[in-house]
Amino acid sequence: MIRCIGASAGGTASGGGALGQRDRHLQYDSPGQPRIGAQANPLTTKLEQFVCFTADEILALDRLTNTAKFLLAGQDLIREGERPEQISLIVSGMACRYKLLADGRRQILALLIPGDLCEVEFGRFSWPDHSIALLGDALISSVSFAQLAGLRVQYPRFDRALSLSELIETATLREWLLNLGQRNAMQRIGHLFCELRVRLRAIGHLHDDGSFDLPINQAVLADITGLTTVHVNRTLQRLRAEGLIELKQRRLVIRQPEKLVELCGFDDNYLRVAR
């Protein structure tokens, strides 16, 4: 659990390792192309759950992701109270919305995955009540508020799809509240894993064996679930011992999805939308 109030949210200070981290990153995601770059535009994939796009629209959305930049783990995309200049689109990697308490405790409010837009809600009229940090190195492209507004006007289907995905984001927030309020440690963690599996599948980020990358350490897991690192560790061990999951090297396999779903009362309804 991160107890430092400072900027670095992805780990207890990246220290002087900024350069080192970049090296590691390039090495990790190489050779040459960023691994995810070869895949379809995650924004398109995500929104096509809700609407059908024309070739025109797909091209316009692709243009958004062309300009993605590498950013290093732990960096803040927006900070509580500071009005953002631009909207960030996650092209690859993961980020989280979070809030800090005065004593340094952190609650993660949402996980953002490829295809998610960050600051849509903070237009001309509002400032953020929370921060957003990268959980691992990431590819981020920036979109100006004006540019996005233009696209929404020009492409009503895109506009509708975005609205729907905002609805789902809010529904997810509600489900997380239920998670923290009513479920125990095993269920909380299990529920998160079930949710991530559905969301990552929707953007084509499951591996062939159904597993997925989870660039997250146990301290982050603790900040998501409102538990301590120690208890997360012990709970993961129980989940492993019961043959429900495998988790190592930042990759998660859900061994018995039906059992896990039942254990934590997961129902993916809140991730869907009518029509």
Task: State the minimum distance, in angstroms, from the CB of residue 268 to DNA.
Answer: 23
Instruction: Compute the distance between CA of residue 266 and CA of residue 263 in angstroms, rounded to an integer.
Output: 8
Q: Amino acid letter at 1?
A: M
99 contributes a contact to its own copies by CB under 8 A: yes
Is the separation of the CB atoms in 218 and 265 below 8 Å?
no
Helix (H) or strand (E) holding 99: strand 95-100
Q: Which of 78, 227, 252, 260 binds DNA (CB under 7 A)?
A: 227
263 contributes a contact to DNA by CB under 7 A: no
Please choose, out of 8-16, 22-30, 139-147, 170-178, the segment that lies near its own copies by the rule CB under 8 A. Answer: 170-178
Residues 6+ apart with CB under 8 A from 79: 7, 128, 131
Q: Which of 39, 142, 163, 233 binds DNA (CB under 7 A)?
A: 233
Bridge partner list, 71: 138
Please choose, out of 22-30, 143-151, 170-178, 192-200, the segment that lies near DNA by the rule CB under 7 A. Answer: 22-30
Of 126-155, which residues contact DNA (CB under 7 A)? none
Instruction: Compute the distance between CA of residue 80 and CA of residue 202 in angstroms, rounded to an integer.
Output: 30
52 contributes a contact to its own copies by CB under 8 A: no
251 contributes a contact to DNA by CB under 7 A: no
Per-residue burial over 255-270, b = 16 or more CB atoms within 10 Å of its CB, e = otherwise? eeeeebbebbebeeeb
Residue 101 contact partner, candidates its own copies, DNA, none, CB within 5 to 8 A by sort of partner = its own copies
Question: Residues in the site for DNA, rule: CB under 7 A?
Answer: 10-13, 15, 17, 20-21, 23-24, 28, 184-186, 217-219, 226-231, 233-237, 249
